[in-house]
Amino acid sequence: MTVEPNLGLLCFFPYRALESRVLAALNEAGFDDITLAQGRIAARIGEDGTRLTDLAAQAQVTKQTAGFLVEQLEKAGYVRRVPDPTDGRARLVCFAERGRAAVAVARRVEVEVEAEWTAHLGEESTRALREALTRLREVTDPWR
């Protein structure tokens, strides 16, 4: 009896492939000091910055782990911490110039990979997949 992979695994395989392509492109572009764990934290930083506690929750790691990863990214010049304008006691993790340059590389690769997937699946299937996953996000992503 053959057991089909569950939907979670079927979503994970392409995500892992995309993540690997992004990290390889970053490495090739000279951003060779970003680890997978750092990248997963950085991927959750919002445009206007994100609090460390929110990064930890979204990445499902402890605040200490998120703090360590952010500290490494900060030392490497990818992020900076700034006061949160909505709460003087809190700080936001924001991209520094080097981080924004790395994000630009990542976004370019994401577009390339999605184009490859669309060529493989076809426009209609890709559109249906995006719609289904967007709907599924409603019940799986509390940070949407």
Under CATH, to which class is 7-140 assigned? mainly alpha
pLDDT, residue 88, reads 82
Residues 123 and 114: their CA atoms lie apart, in Å, by 11
Residues 114 and 56: their CA atoms lie apart, in Å, by 28
Q: Residue 73 has which token pair?
A: 């990214």
The tens digit of pLDDT for each residue in 14-61 reads 999 999 999 999 999 999 999 999 999 999 999 999 999 999 999 999
The tens digit of pLDDT for each residue in 97-125 reads 999 999 999 999 999 999 999 999 999 99
Per domain, the residue ranges of the chain are 7-140
Upper half-sphere CA count for residue 62 (Cβ side, 13 Å): 3
R_g (Cα) of the chain, nearest Å = 17
Give the DSSP H/E element, type plus range, for residue 87.
strand 87-95
